[in-house]
C-alpha cells in the first residue's frame, strides 16, 4: 500500500498541473489521468521507480466528450500494483508523444493505435503498418465507432508490404507466411550469411480477426467469454477468465470462492497441457519426433480429462461473467487426482530420459541466448523471462482468483537460452500438478457456481486484469459500455511482448536453430494477432477451379 501512496504523491508533485485526476480502484490498481504533454515524463518517472511496461490501449470514448484516449499500463511486480496512465487528445488532432524511444516494448502497442484508431505519435522510430492488411484503405480506422464491424473494403491486388533490404553480404531466407516450423501464419524474413543468421524482419498480424471490434459492436457481456476463449487455440481459458475478471472488477462483482477455485483448476490444467504440448513441439523442432509423440501421448490424458470435466477437450467454455458453468464435484475431483497421478509418473520418467540427454543439450544449450539485461529491456515475460533469471509470475506478483491461498514455487533458472525455457517449463508442470491438488483440497464445499446480478453493469468503468498464461502474463483491459456490452476490450497476449525480442535472440545463431528459437517463446500468433471478421453466412465464396489457382500462383511467381 505504501508504494501506491508514494507513487501518487510523487506523480502529483512532479507533474503539478499536468496531473488531472486519479481513481483508486481497489488496492492493487491506480488510475491516473495526466495531460497529454506530460506522458513521456510520467513514463520516465514510473520506469525509474522500477515499473515494467505492459501494454498501450487506445480507445474512442463515446461519452463525456473526451475525444480519443490513450492508456499505458505499468506493473510494479514487487508491490502487486499496476499503475494505469490515461491521457486524452481531441478527435481532430489525435497526437501523442511516443514512448518507444524510452521503452522499446511500447512500439507495437503504438503502431496498433496508429492502424486501428488513427493516432499519430511524435518521435516513433518506425511507424510502419502493423495490424491492418496492406491493402486496407488509408483513413479508415476499424476501431472507431463509426466504422461498422462488417465493413469489407474491396481488395486490391498490387499492394504489398515492403520488406527491408537485407544488409550487404547476406541473403534472405523467407520463413513464412506458411512454414512447417511456424504453426500459424507469420513472416520472418531471415538474413543469412551462409548458415549464420545476421538479422531478421518480422511481419505478422496475418490472422487479425477483429475480435475486439466484434465484442464492442455485436456481442454482449456474456457472449464475449466464448469468443475470448477462441482467441487462442491453446490457452483459451486464460483469455476468458481474464476477460471475466476484468468485467467483474469494473462492475465490482465478487464471485464465489468456489468458482474462483474452479477457475484456477482449469487454468492449471491448461498450463499442464500447454507445457506438454510445447515440450512435444520443441522435440519436433529439433527433429526429435519421439519426444514429440511421447509428450503428446501424456498430454492426451489431460485433454480427455478436460473433455470429461467440461464437455470439450480444449475449448472448456467454463467461464462466464460472475462465475463458472460446470461444477467439479467429488467424483470429478477423484478423476482429476487419478489422472494427475498418472501424468506425474509418466512425466517423471520422460524427464529422466531427456534431461540428461547430451544430444538434446547439443541442440538447445547456448542457443537463442539473451542476457538478463536484454530480457529486462524488452520486458520479457513468462518462462522466456524466467529462463533468464527474472522471477516474474503474475500468479505470485498480482494474485488473482484463488492464487493468494495456494503455495507454489516459481521456477527460475539463469541459462538464458532455449534449454533454460525447457527446464522452466518442465518444472512448472510439477508445480501445476501441485496447485491443482491443493485446489481440490482447499476448495470450499459449497457456494454458487455463478452469482446472480440484479442490476446492469454500469457504463464507463475501467478495469485491468492479468492472468499468468502458460506463455507469460496476459493482460485484458475493459471499458464498460452501454447496452450490455463492453465499449472497449483490449487483449494483450504474452506473445505480443515476447515476440518483439525474437530478432535479438536470433542474432548470430545458426539457421538450423531458427525453428527452436522461435519455438522457445512458444509463439501463439493467433493470440497476438487476435483481432478478420468472419461472417460465413454472407461471404460470397468464389470457388476457384484448380487450374485457375495454379495459373494465378504461377503467374505471380514468374512476375514477382
Partner 1 sequence: MKVAAIFINLAYFLLLAPFLEGVMRKLTARIQSRQGPPLYQPYLDLLKLLGKENIVSSKNWAFRLAPLLAFSSMLAVVLLVPLAGAENLLSHSSDLMTLIYLLTLSGFSILVGALASGNPFAGVGASREMMTIIMLEPVLAMTLILGAVKSESFTISSALSGIGRNHGFSYFLMLVVYLLALQAFVSRQPFDIPEAEVEILEGPYVEYSGPNYALFRYTLNIKRMFYAWLFVVSFLNFVPSGNFWLKLLLETAGILILFVLISVIGATHPRFRIDQAIKYYTLLVVLSLIAIGLGVKGW
Partner 2 sequence: MWLWNKLKQLAISLRAGVVTLHYPFEPRPAPAGFRGQPVWDHTKCIGCAGCANHCPARTIFLRDICQEVRILLYDSARCTYCGRCVDLCPEKAITMSDKFELATDNRQDLTQAIELFMMTCQRCGRCYDLEIKNYIDRLTLLGYRYDSLEVRKVIKKSTSEFQPEMLEKTATYQRPERLEK
Three-class SS string for 473-510?
Answer: EEEEEEEECCCCCEEEEEEECHHHHHHHHHHHHHCCCE
For the chain, the first-to-last Cα distance in angstroms comes to 61
β-pairing, 68-76 vs 81-89, is antiparallel
The binder of partner 1 chosen from 93, 171, 349, 508 (CB under 8 A): 171
The binder of partner 1 chosen from 86, 271, 273, 363 (CB under 8 A): 363
133 vs 181, beta carbon nearer partner 1? 181
Q: Which stretch binds partner 2 (CB under 8 A): 9-17, 504-512, 534-542, 551-559?
A: 534-542
Q: Please report whether residue 285 would count as binding partner 1 according to CB under 8 A.
A: yes
Cell of 106: 511500447
The binder of partner 2 chosen from 66, 120, 209, 325 (CB under 8 A): 325
Q: Please report whether residue 272 would count as binding partner 2 according to CB under 8 A.
A: no
419 binds, among partner 2, partner 1, none (CB under 5 to 8 A by kind): none
110 vs 260, beta carbon nearer partner 2? 260
Q: Which stretch binds partner 1 (CB under 8 A): 31-39, 176-184, 209-217, 335-343?
A: 176-184
Question: Least separation, in Å, of the C-beta of 524 and partner 1?
Answer: 18
Residue-level length of the chain: 560
Cell of 242: 481474464
Residues numbered 149 to 178 that lie near partner 2 (CB under 8 A) are 150-154
| H helical segments located in 107-235 | 107-117, 211-217, 224-229
* 101 close to 78: Cβ distance less than 8 angstroms: no
Q: Which stretch binds partner 1 (CB under 8 A): 7-15, 151-159, 191-199, 200-208?
A: 191-199
What is the C-alpha to C-alpha distance for residues 196 and 278, in angstroms, rounded to an integer? 25
Q: Please report whether residue 514 would count as binding partner 1 according to CB under 8 A.
A: yes
Cα 378 to Cα 105, 130, 257, 504, distances in angstroms: 6, 18, 36, 10
330 vs 546, beta carbon nearer partner 1? 546
DSSP class of 110 = H
Q: Please report whether residue 52 would count as binding partner 1 according to CB under 8 A.
A: no
What is the C-alpha to C-alpha distance for residues 474 and 466, in angstroms, rounded to an integer? 6
135 vs 193, beta carbon nearer partner 1? 193
139 vs 169, beta carbon nearer partner 1? 169
454 binds, among partner 2, partner 1, none (CB under 5 to 8 A by kind): partner 2
Per-residue contact track with partner 2, 338 to 357, x per CB under 8 A?
A: --------x--xx-xxx-xx
Q: Please report whether residue 322 would count as binding partner 2 according to CB under 8 A.
A: yes
174 binds, among partner 1, partner 2, none (CB under 5 to 8 A by kind): partner 1
β-pairing, 319-320 vs 171-175, is unpaired
* 68 close to 58: Cβ distance less than 8 angstroms: yes
Cell of 53: 511496461
Residue with C-alpha cell 538450423?
512
The binder of partner 2 chosen from 456, 548, 553, 556 (CB under 8 A): 456
* 446 close to 381: Cβ distance less than 8 angstroms: no
The contact set with partner 1 (CB under 8 A) reads: 171-174, 179-181, 192, 194-195, 283-294, 297, 359-360, 362-363, 510-515, 557
Amino acid at each position: 500500500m505504501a508504494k501506491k501512496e508514494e507513487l501518487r504523491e510523487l506523480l502529483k508533485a512532479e507533474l503539478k498541473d499536468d496531473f488531472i485526476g486519479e481513481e483508486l480502484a481497489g488496492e492493487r490498481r491506480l488510475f491516473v489521468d495526466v495531460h497529454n504533454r506530460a506522458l513521456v515524463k510520467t513514463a520516465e518517472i514510473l520506469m525509474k521507480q522500477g515499473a515494467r511496461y505492459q501494454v498501450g490501449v487506445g480507445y474512442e470514448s463515446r461519452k463525456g466528450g473526451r475525444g480519443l484516449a490513450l492508456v499505458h499500463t505499468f506493473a510494479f511486480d514487487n508491490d502487486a500494483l499496476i499503475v494505469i496512465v490515461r491521457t486524452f487528445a481531441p478527435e481532430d488532432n489525435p497526437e501523442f508523444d511516443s514512448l518507444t524511444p524510452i521503452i522499446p516494448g511500447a512500439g507495437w502497442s503504438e503502431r496498433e493505435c496508429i492502424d486501428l484508431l488513427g493516432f499519430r505519435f511524435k518521435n516513433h522510430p518506425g511507424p510502419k503498418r502493423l495490424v491492418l492488411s496492406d491493402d486496407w484503405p488509408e483513413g479508415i480506422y476499424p476501431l472507431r465507432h463509426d466504422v461498422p464491424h462488417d465493413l469489407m473494403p474491396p481488395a486490391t491486388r498490387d499492394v504489398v508490404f515492403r520488406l527491408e533490404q537485407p544488409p550487404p553480404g547476406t541473403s534472405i531466407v523467407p520463413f513464412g507466411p506458411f512454414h512447417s516450423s511456424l504453426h500459424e501464419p507469420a513472416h520472418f524474413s531471415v538474413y543469412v550469411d551462409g548458415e549464420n543468421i545476421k538479422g531478421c524482419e518480422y511481419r505478422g498480424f496475418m490472422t487479425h480477426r477483429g475480435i475486439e471490434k466484434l465484442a464492442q459492436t455485436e456481442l454482449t457481456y456474456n457472449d464475449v467469454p466464448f469468443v475470448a476463449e477462441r482467441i487462442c487455440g491453446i490457452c483459451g481459458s486464460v483469455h476468458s477468465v481474464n476477460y471475466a475478471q476484468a468485467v467483474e472488477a469494473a462492475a465490482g462483482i465478487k464471485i464465489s470462492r468456489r468458482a474462483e477455485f474452479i477457475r484456477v483448476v482449469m487454468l492449471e490444467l491448461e498450463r499442464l497441457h500447454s507445457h506438454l504440448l510445447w515440450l512435444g513441439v520443441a522435440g519436433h523442432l529439433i527433429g526429435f519426433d519421439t519426444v514429440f509423440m511421447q509428450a503428446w501421448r501424456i498430454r492426451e490424458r489431460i485433454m480427455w480429462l478436460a473433455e470429461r470435466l467440461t464437455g470439450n477437450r480444449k475449448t472448456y467454455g467454463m467461464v462466464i461473467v460472475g462465475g463458472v458453468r460446470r461444477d467439479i464435484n467429488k467424483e470429478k475431483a477423484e478423476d482429476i487426482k487419478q489422472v494427475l497421478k498418472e501424468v506425474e509418473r509418466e512425466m517423471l520418467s520422460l524427464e529422466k530420459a531427456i534431461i540428461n540427454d547430451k544430444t538434446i543439450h547439443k541442440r538447445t544449450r547456448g542457443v537463442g541466448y539473451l542476457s538478463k539485461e536484454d530480457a529486462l529491456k524488452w520486458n520479457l515475460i513468462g518462462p522466456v523471462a524466467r529462463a533468464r533469471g527474472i522471477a516474474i509470475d503474475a500468479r505470485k506478483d498480482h494474485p488473482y482468483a484463488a492464487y493468494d491461498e495456494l503455495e507454489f514455487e516459481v521456477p527460475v533458472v539463469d541459462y538464458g537460452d532455449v534449454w533454460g525455457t525447457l527446464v522452466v517449463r518442465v518444472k512448472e508442470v510439477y508445480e501445476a500438478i501441485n496447485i491443482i491438488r491443493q485446489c481440490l483440497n482447499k476448495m470450499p464445499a459449497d457456494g454458487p457456481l455463478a452469482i446472480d446480478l440484479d442490476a446492469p453493469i454500469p457504463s464507463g468503468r475501467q478495469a485491468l486484469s492479468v492472468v499468468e498464461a502458460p506463455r507469460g502474463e496476459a493482460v485484458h483491459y475493459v471499458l464498460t459500455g452501454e447496452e450490455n456490452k463492453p465499449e472497449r476490450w483490449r487483449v494483450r497476449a504474452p506473445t505480443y511482448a515476447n515476440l518483439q525480442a525474437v530478432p535479438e535472440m536470433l542474432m548470430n545463431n545458426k539457421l538450423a536453430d531458427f525453428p527452436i528459437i522461435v519455438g522457445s517463446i512458444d509463439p501463439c500468433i493467433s493470440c497476438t494477432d487476435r483481432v478478420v471478421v468472419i461472417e460465413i453466412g454472407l461471404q460470397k465464396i468464389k470457388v476457384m477451379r484448380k487450374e485457375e489457382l495454379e495459373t494465378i500462383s504461377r503467374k505471380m511467381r514468374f512476375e514477382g
